[in-house]
């Protein structure tokens, strides 16, 4: 866990949502209950007030110091939600009422001071509702949170156990490269190496995982060593191909070719629109399809061009600067450097282990 990081949790057992943070390794502090903060110090009348009860629109605060109780109600006086076209999202706005001092936290007091619901003033509908209040019980909630976390942990352990049983049944072991559990290849002379399996490699290559056909991680670090070699060769390639003005010019040339391809396609489409749309159904239409169609019916040959990008990360266009390429390039070099160090550390600390199947067989 990260100390200071605020997390929100809904605890089903007590039906409560609150935010909390770790103040040290195992001490939790609740920071918010719904929208409401606490304790409120010297905010209302110079005394300290603690959260007492709350719901989605209002919280009742109780004075902690004196025997005779005073309360403050503090909540939302108006809420609105509008669709904002410019960002394509529903935007919620809240207005908060001035805190109001009350001498009791009962239904009547709260109804007395509750603002009228906007748009429902004529029927005297109140915004603050006493009935849906949750009593603020931080100690109880923290206990329940711990219980809840324990349940999740137990569930995860059970899931882990189930997976291990499945891996044992299917004779799966961990691939040294991608670290997934893959079946071992036991037939013939393969001696239990990892089967071929696909994996999206870091960088730009997709295909068969480099860890395939090596011993699983439990038996040998050879799969990971091959993976590190692969990462190193990717890094070497990058170091030998640092972007420069020449590369930028080359990419921009491709951009020009792509732009004129799109322009030509558009013009051809305009001219042949009617005929094309009559012969091809709406949902079958695409650039590729149009290119095929115009080749067959009008004997026009166009070579498909694709948008230009650099290292599969940066979309290149006519205004792209060399500094942008260098940023992408540097980020890839840094990522690979980091990965290589990380993976090498695992190899340095490698120890032989049993595979899930070996573990199961040993315990039977």
Residue ranges that bind Zn ion, judged by CB under 5 A: 175, 177-178, 199, 209, 211
Q: Which is nearer to Zn ion, 201 or 354 (CB)?
A: 201
Indicate the burial class of 185 (C-beta count within 10 angstroms; 0-12, 13-18, 19 or more): middle
Contacts with 8 (C-beta within 8 Å, 6 or more apart), sequence order: 17, 18, 19, 32
Q: Mapping DSSP to helix (H, G, I), strand (E, B) and coil, where does residue 76 land?
A: strand
Query: How far apart are CB 185 and Zn ion at their closest, in Å?
Result: 13
Query: How far apart are CB 27 and Zn ion at their closest, in Å?
Result: 41
With CA atoms as reference, report the closest residue to 269 among 286, 244, 249, 247: 286
Tokens representing residue 111 in the block: 């109804």
Per-residue burial over 229-260, b if 16 or more Cβ lie within 10 Å, else e, is ebbeebbeebeeeebeeeebeebbeebeebee
Q: How many CB atoms lie within 10 A of CB 101?
A: 13
Query: How far apart are CB 159 and Zn ion at their closest, in Å?
Result: 22
Q: Which is nearer to Zn ion, 195 or 258 (CB)?
A: 195
Q: Which is nearer to Zn ion, 209 or 231 (CB)?
A: 209
Q: Which is nearer to Zn ion, 30 or 209 (CB)?
A: 209
Query: How far apart are CB 184 and Zn ion at their closest, in Å?
Result: 12
Tokens representing residue 70 in the block: 């005073």
**52 contacts 40 by C-beta, under 8 angstroms:** no
Backbone angles phi, psi at 316, to 5 degrees: -100, 135
Q: Which is nearer to Zn ion, 75 or 176 (CB)?
A: 176
Q: Which is nearer to Zn ion, 103 or 200 (CB)?
A: 200
**290 contacts 265 by C-beta, under 8 angstroms:** yes
**185 contacts 193 by C-beta, under 8 angstroms:** yes
Query: How far apart are CB 209 and Zn ion at their closest, in Å?
Result: 3
Query: How far apart are CB 210 and Zn ion at their closest, in Å?
Result: 7
Separation CA 267–CA 261 (nearest Å): 10
Q: What DSSP letter does each residue of 5-19 carry, written as one string? A: --EEEEETTTTEEEE
Query: How far apart are CB 176 and Zn ion at their closest, in Å?
Result: 7
Whats the size of the chain, residue-wise? 364
Q: Which is nearer to Zn ion, 165 or 196 (CB)?
A: 196
Q: Which is nearer to Zn ion, 9 or 340 (CB)?
A: 340
Q: Which is nearer to Zn ion, 54 or 181 (CB)?
A: 181
Query: How far apart are CB 213 and Zn ion at their closest, in Å?
Result: 10
Query: How far apart are CB 174 and Zn ion at their closest, in Å?
Result: 9
With CA atoms as reference, report the closest residue to 251 among 334, 329, 332: 329
Separation CA 343–CA 175 (nearest Å): 13
């Amino acid at each position: 866990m990260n100390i200071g990081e605020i997390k929100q949790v809904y605890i089903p057992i007590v039906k409560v949502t609150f935010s909390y943070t770790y103040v040290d390794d195992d001490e939790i502090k609740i920071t918010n209950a719904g929208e409401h903060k606490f304790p409120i110090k010297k905010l209302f009348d110079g005394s300290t007030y603690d959260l007492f009860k709350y719901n989605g629109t209002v919280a009742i605060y109780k004075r902690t110091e004196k025997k005779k109780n005073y309360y403050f109600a503090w909540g939302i006086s108006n809420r609105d939600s509008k669709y904002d076209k410019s960002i394509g999202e529903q935007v919620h706005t809240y207005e908060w009422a001035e805190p109001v001092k009350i001498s009791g936290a009962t239904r009547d007091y709260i109804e007395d001071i509750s603002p009228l619901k906007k748009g429902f003033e004529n029927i005297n509908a109140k915004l603050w509702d006493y009935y849906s209040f949750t009593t603020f019980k931080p100690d109880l909630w923290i206990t329940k949170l711990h219980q809840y976390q324990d349940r999740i942990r137990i569930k995860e352990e059970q899931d882990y156990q189930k997976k291990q049983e499945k891996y044992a049944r299917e004779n799966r072991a961990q691939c040294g490269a991608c670290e997934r559990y893959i079946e071992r290849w036991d037939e013939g002379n393969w001696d239990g190496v990892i089967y071929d399996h696909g994996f999206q490699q870091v960088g730009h290559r997709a295909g068969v995982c480099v860890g395939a056909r090596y011993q699983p991680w439990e038996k040998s670090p050879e799969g990971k060593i091959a993976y590190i070699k692969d990462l190193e060769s990717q890094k070497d390639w990058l170091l030998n191909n640092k972007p420069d003005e020449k590369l930028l010019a080359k990419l921009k040339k491709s951009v020009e070719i792509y732009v004129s391809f799109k322009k030509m396609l558009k013009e051809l489409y305009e001219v042949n629109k009617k005929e094309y749309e009559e012969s091809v159904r709406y949902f079958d239409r695409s650039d590729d399809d149009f290119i095929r169609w115009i080749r067959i019916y009008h004997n026009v040959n166009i070579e498909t061009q694709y948008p230009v990008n650099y290292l599969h990360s940066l979309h290149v266009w006519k205004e792209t600067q060399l500094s942008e390429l260098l940023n992408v390039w540097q980020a890839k070099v840094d990522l690979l450097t980091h990965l290589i160090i990380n993976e090498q550390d695992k190899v340095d600390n490698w120890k032989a282990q049993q595979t899930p199947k070996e573990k199961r067989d040993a315990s039977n």
